[in-house]
Structure 1
Amino acid sequence: MEIGFSSASFYPLIPTEQSLSTLNTMGFKVAELFLNSFSEYETDFINILEEEKNKNSITINSIHAFSSSFEPYIFDAYERRRKDMINIFKKVCKAARLLNCNIYNFHGMRKMDFNSINKKMVLDIYNELCYIASENQVYLSQENVCWCMSADLDFMNFLKQELRYPIKFTLDLKQAYKAGIDPITYLNIMGDDLVNFHINDKDKANSCLLPGKGEIDYKKIFRELKKNNYKGNAIIEIYKENFNTFHEITESKLYLEDIIHGIGL
């Protein structure tokens, strides 16, 4: 396991194309790349990112789109809107392929009552998305997000059990705690289909902090990951207000590395 960093944490301070050189100077060699606008899905821009990736010897662990602008509408009742949104999804999958990245981090549907959703339509759409992703040698990785359907344990079990095509998962600690659910509960559902892990910290006053600045018992979580034979990376994902200097981020990386080496991940 390597400790990586999400470029989402730099938004809006650092343009996406500059984030990889910034991470390199901080000692990171693994990144989740957040594409912040529609123009950043285009091939010309992805080619710039590919050059930056190679120049800075960064591995792109996962791609995260500006998801709230289109992913919820992939499940819209209006067919033409769904098709337009799926075309955007295709662009992001292509971007991942061009960057030699095989994880698309997905938020998806907004939260509603699980029993009220059109389950057949939802399954059909997820199967289509997973198929499109696989055509690009990419996994659709469903993240648990507190304001999305993926916060719902019944919904996550539904995806895991009912989809025809393979789906993978991203575990996000802050999103689990915001939903009032122990991250281990999500982990038990995700099992060996977990491919991505967003790591952050919290305390009683703050829902998101740099790892090592709060009260989360990382040893317990990393031991569970080891028990599940997790082979992926841990990506620090925070907000810009959670750090003042890059040195704080580097210290957090070293703190986590000490823990995972002690556990043997």
Structure 2
Amino acid sequence: FTSGMETFFFASEYGGRLEDGLRIYRRYFEICRVLGIPRVVFHGDYRQTPFPFQRHCENYLLLRRTAREYGVDFCQENVVRCKCGLPEYVRQMREYTGDDVSFVLDVKQQRRAGVQLEEMLDAMRGKIAHVHLSDYTQQNDCTAPGTGGLALEPFFRELRRGGFAGDIIIELYRSGFSSMDELLASAAMVNKIYAGCSVASGSEKEQCP
């Protein structure tokens, strides 16, 4: 419930707000440990705020170190309304954190930011821990995978080439699918294609059904 308040807590000149935010997020990390949840997804600072991005990254590192105490990976997502929705901020974040960062790649947010998927993949390469997957049509920019223009096989090959070994979830809004059967069919197709896509060890040869 605090995802929309992260700028308030973690991109603020008021130390008390940072302390309050850290206290709330520590509780999240505790719950994650109890339930076996491996990661917490962070949206971060809004694009329009004047708060120095390097300081925001320092606060991210504070949260990340705290999450590690509970065995939790604290991940930065590319969100269109936030600074890390743009590849240049992703690259800066890697620099400012000494590459101590994990990313969640959300392909619908990348589309909405007007960013090419290849560019965001390149910016996050080697540090993607989780993927939020969706497709798109001319009428809707967030539909079930396999219903639109996203070429899944090349996308999965690029993920594999960058060392990705995490989880992929289909993340849609209610307007993006019509039935549970559609979701199940999409998930089955994604599983089949992803399982068959790999980059052969020790070579650049790509394998995909």
Whether contact under 8 Å (2:106, 2:132) holds in the other structure is: yes
- Which residue is 1:173 aligned to? 107
Q: Quick one: which amino acid aligns to residue 7 of structure 2?
A: P
Whether contact under 8 Å (2:37, 2:72) holds in the other structure is: yes
2:130 aligned residue (180, 196, 199): 196
SS of the equivalent of 1:234 reads strand
Unaligned residue ranges in structure 2 (runs of 5+): 200-209
Q: Does 1:84 align with 2:1?
A: no
Q: Which has the higher helix share?
A: 1
Q: How much does 1:67 deviate?
A: 0.9
Q: CA RMSD in A?
A: 1.8
- Which residue is 1:263 aligned to? 197
Q: Does 1:121 align with 2:55?
A: yes
Between the aligned residues of both structures, percent identity stands at 26
Q: Does 1:163 align with 2:97?
A: yes
Q: Quick one: which amino acid aligns to residue 229 of structure 1?
A: G
The alignment covers a number of residue pairs equal to: 198
Whether contact under 8 Å (1:208, 1:242) holds in the other structure is: yes
Q: Does 1:211 align with 2:145?
A: yes
Unaligned residue ranges in structure 1 (runs of 5+): 1-36, 38-65
Q: Which one has more relative contact order, counting CA pairs under 8 Å at least 6 apart?
A: 1
Whether contact under 8 Å (1:196, 1:232) holds in the other structure is: yes
Whether contact under 8 Å (2:12, 2:51) holds in the other structure is: no
- Which residue is 2:6 aligned to? 71
Change (3 A) 1:135 1:165: farther
Matches within 5 A, 1:1-265: 37=1, 66-68=2-4, 70-73=5-8, 74-112=10-48, 116-164=50-98, 166-264=100-198
TM-score with structure 1 setting the length: 0.70
SS of the equivalent of 2:132 reads strand
- How many Å separate the matches in 1 of 2:7 and 2:53? 15
Q: How much does 1:175 deviate?
A: 0.4
